[in-house]
Structure 1
């Protein structure tokens, strides 16, 4: 790993941000229900490309959930990174016996930063920082209260302000987008769910979603306004997920299929695929071996798989195999030869006897990524979870993890 700190330390203005800026993942999210489980999780992850020079992809955050917060019908969810805070106060049964309400506040630095990647080339001169704050309200209605497998209907609306600024490498003649007020409304239905942890014992989900974004400053930006911000963009996506284990041999597997499309997307909100960060979002569009967010698409079909098998110490050391593939319809300006992308990888899963922590270290290869030497690239990935509630781990029914967001922010943590 070639971390280049010296150049960044010369710029005192950026030093404080670069030191504490963390790639914040699960921000400003839609949820399938108010989380009924007490959680204290610390999540850390990082992808290091072995060829080329891509945006740094990593995260570090603390996830806390407190059911029965102050009162029995209240819950508090808090996700805290060094420069970003995401919170939601849940009120159970506020609009009836099966309808909960969540009121959220989030904000901080770098969550709306943008990295331009074209044909495997990270164009730093056209990349920039984005910071913002949001308030939102969500309704979570349990459609089948008598069933063991929950089905939730969700409606969520938010108001967000984003301001943009230059990174040290942004070109002087590159005009930034205008600061924006963005209004969003999202609706969806979800059956089942999967817990927001690295290794859940079981998960099942079928869901479908639609979201529309409205911007107040749909102006041009870039070099002589050669790109633009859309006034309105609509996104539709669906996912089928199955995660389980084989009891006789204690092997675990996870398979998910996600389909997505967009109407009038732009560079700032298009679908992004690439990298391997399993908690990158609820709908993490992984492509092992690729840069994080390397592929920019209007439409996609994405298959993600994971398989683990214990090899030593009563299953505390396991082999892990990962594989992802996708068909994409590129955004204008991001096309490259072929519409199919795939990546595979393998490594080790190591966990403590108490379940307090679990770590995965993996090597991954991307087959269709473009680099200076041709096609193909490699990445070393490491993720770690510390579960401060390990003694109560996995004793509850299926719940949802946090909702879909593309990983954003901190491409500059290590000064690359």
Structure 2
């Protein structure tokens, strides 16, 4: 099969890496790709949201399956455009992708179908939003309703902080039109976990649980990012809680979208807040998480191409899916200054040395070629991912590889996975 992967980040590198292992794969294209992806696929210089050019390319190259990585083309209708031309593509329709494209829509659906989430209000007027915050007090959560690359959420522990977030989102337009509307919701205590499922429009089949590290600094402090690292399994999601998450959240959402005439095919990602036995949804995404995709796909043993085809054909229940018992951890190496401003173009050294560490894959996220060298070209630059039977050893191997890599002002959190190890130790007592 000729396969086209759309995207150029760490998630897409992980997808290409996994798809390349399929005996059904003949040739992989990736648009636009990156230097790491270029070792496994033919990179094509087409932007992820240039839907017409992507469809023309897929038709010209006789692409048998297109796999969409990022949320932007999904919310802009790439799946509909490909299907209209009779081409097979993995991902939700534009209507189904509104679950991520509009937080206010997602909240409405959860409310309508009694899927547990924080109580909320939606505002299109900044003055009204401010009055609501002042009446509710803090802590409180302010979210840009539209897409914001994982950075549109402010967990405000003071009223002033919440008011600043409203000004920044709605008036300063730091996220552009995504901030035309804000969702303000009650603060939920607990610990976050990521629960992803393959979906075929009727059935949700869960993946192994994972946990992201959103804040930029150790101890989960500092501003939100797209994710500074992730690990799997996530011991906070016990087998019992995973079953409840499937029965009370993931499958009900698939049923709800079918009921709404928007059948959901693709990856459904539930961002969950766990507080003891209480589970609530923070948000839904409509694609693999990044960096969750890296450790989760490293644990997947079944052919990913087979799973995606089963989803497209509505035959997911007939597809067995197996996972490794090993743990996997992804440590994100970022440009200094991220998620604020940062400098690009620094030469990255040590990639080959890092890749030689046992059971480690260095997934490229924000890299490019410059004068024959791989240089940093984004905020999140690399996802150094390791697998081992022990979570602690997987973490050690990942950081061993991290320490092989250098570029000017590189930044990395040093506590990725630590909370998982601590929880496993407590559960073992």
- Pairwise TM-score range, normalised by the shorter structure: under 0.3
Judging by fraction of residues, say which structure has more helix.
Answer: 2
TM-score, with structure 1 as normaliser: 0.25
TM-score, with structure 2 as normaliser: 0.24
Judging by fraction of residues, say which structure has more strand.
Answer: 1
